[in-house]
Structure 1
């Protein structure tokens, strides 16, 4: 086996990160028929009660994004809340609780779901009312398709169709985007920047910091299985890992198995870091090589078709978490 290591210039970075923010993602509320995307009411109430403690600072996603982009220091334990798809249960179950707590939230809307007048989703009158009450509206494509499998022209059509509907229905085009299924590729990063989106969010675990890819920001996805209060507390208190110069740059994997590598702002963390990669067949065995602040990971087999996730954690005086999702079309 031949190993190729990529060593990059690291002199421009400081000793550690300045900002961290944990963003949580929900889909459905108190709809046990859909356990993979649902959060039970008792779980959600536990989450909101935890975030009501004074040690947390629940902020809007716009505040978090603008602070990161403009290098403005955020308070400790900054938390963001997001909801994908505009399921009706957001209005009926979650929003009254969030509103009572005074917690800002971003609702990522799939315009095609709303335009089809499905009884399972909100309608535009309800979305306009939510916006008036303080809910931020984000974009989540038009058809909720697997964007990484589409051509550039097809993706442009998705974005432009969605943008026209937003402009007609709420008099503005959102500045925040969330990828359906958390799937994306490098051409999407550039395209969303061209369409003037500030940032885009995936569905992979991890904590946002100033070295994060603005067009592939992490969120902790919460459902019945992964919504227990201890995991929630762990994520809410975690900090960014300060990962930069990550390869592969394209999360839509072409060369399989991929060469994976990254550098750490704080070199002292390198010796203590643990990384785990899972695909549909379970954990992928690997070799990890450490060169000062540089970490190189070599997989012992190819990744399976579909989504796979890399998570790296380390503890200094607190837990730090970096994650990314890969996707393989074939």
Structure 2
């Protein structure tokens, strides 16, 4: 009987299909800019070489979002490269390497901040990026915080539409892709984005697939303390949890011990091996399983001020050496 059960479990694991695409987020590509949001030119080249060595395929960001919107499987080898804010170093240091490797990429810009400037790109430079497989997308007009800046619904919608209008006029591109400034959003903002037909990009970590939230897609940071190629390799090989729902949606916590509730569609890992890591805590924290596919996690201690993440990982049963990975970003001001 035990042998039969073992065979059944083994057979089920072999046929467990999981699709995973990865989106990377960068800001500066320079060793002269703030380290927390920067990757050196040499490190960036190492990242591109790592992607090549893993035989991954760098695709336009829209290739991934089109698949998710159509509820069709993403390819396990897909990776998308994104840059937030449109800094000058993307043109100076990243573009020559992206051309060399023939990789497409996306730059999220704020039209009010577009140059001429020592810090930000100008429209001519953005046009040059567009000639070399660059998607130029929306990051709001002037990097407004859509949660904290007190914008009304009407003001926020006008802001997003105006930014898209200017990008279209200047570059003839309109992709309806929005990267939330600071990675901050709430349920109301997501619903407004849905009405506008946009895709939203956040700043929490994890791979994506057709079950991912199209209004808050996760991206792995690859700059600052996250620039190490060894840890980046694990992220590029990560798998997304097949998620039914996550509550709450908002990045602003309702308490200093915020409760995260996750409901899965299915799972390919043992409950006992799911571990969650909370920013500022050195030890992993075990979640509370409320059913076979539902778990809760809340910080045992009050979360500190600033940006706090709950990162949850579990080793895959059917894909040896690969880990499921998801995170929740809290912004406690």
* Partner deviation per Cα, 1:225-266 (whole Å, 9 max, x = no partner): 210110111111111122322111222223443221112333
- The offset of 1:142, in angstroms, is 1.1
Partner of 2:9: none
Partner of 1:205: 205
- The offset of 1:80, in angstroms, is 0.9
Q: Which runs of 5+ in 1 are unaligned?
A: 1-14
Matches within 5 A, 1:14-29: 18-29=18-29
Partner of 1:226: 226
* Partner deviation per Cα, 1:81-119 (whole Å, 9 max, x = no partner): 1111111111111111111111110111111210x5322
Partner of 2:162: 161
Pair 1:80-2:80 in alignment: yes
Partner of 2:138: 139
Matches within 5 A, 1:6-85: 18-53=18-53, 55-85=55-85
Note closer, same or farther for the CA distance 1:192–1:30 as it changes in structure 2 (3 Å cut): same
- The offset of 1:126, in angstroms, is 1.6
Note closer, same or farther for the CA distance 1:224–1:172 as it changes in structure 2 (3 Å cut): closer
- The offset of 1:133, in angstroms, is 2.7
SS at match of 2:147: helix
Return the TM-score normalized by structure 1: 0.87
- The offset of 1:16, in angstroms, is 5.8
* Partner deviation per Cα, 1:24-71 (whole Å, 9 max, x = no partner): 111111233311111012211111111112621211111111112223
- The offset of 1:17, in angstroms, is 5.8
Contact 2:18 2:239 survives alignment (8 Å): no
For the residues of structure 2 that align with 1:155 and 1:302, how far apart are their CA atoms?
32
SS at match of 2:303: coil
Partner of 2:331: 327
Partner of 1:7: none
- The offset of 1:283, in angstroms, is 5.8
Matches within 5 A, 1:80-99: 80-99=80-99
SS at match of 1:225: helix
For the residues of structure 2 that align with 1:91 and 1:253, how far apart are their CA atoms?
37
Note closer, same or farther for the CA distance 1:41–1:295 as it changes in structure 2 (3 Å cut): same
Q: Which runs of 5+ in 2 are unaligned?
A: 1-14
For the residues of structure 2 that align with 1:283 and 1:189, how far apart are their CA atoms?
33
RMSD of equivalent CA atoms: 2.2
For the residues of structure 1 that align with 2:195 and 2:308, how far apart are their CA atoms?
28
Pair 1:123-2:122 in alignment: yes
Contact 1:207 1:218 survives alignment (8 Å): yes
Partner of 1:289: 288
Note closer, same or farther for the CA distance 1:161–1:273 as it changes in structure 2 (3 Å cut): same
For the residues of structure 2 that align with 1:276 and 1:248, how far apart are their CA atoms?
18
Contact 1:25 1:222 survives alignment (8 Å): yes
Partner of 1:273: 274
Partner of 2:193: 192
Partner of 1:11: none
Q: Which segment is superposed worse, 293-302 or 100-109?
A: 293-302
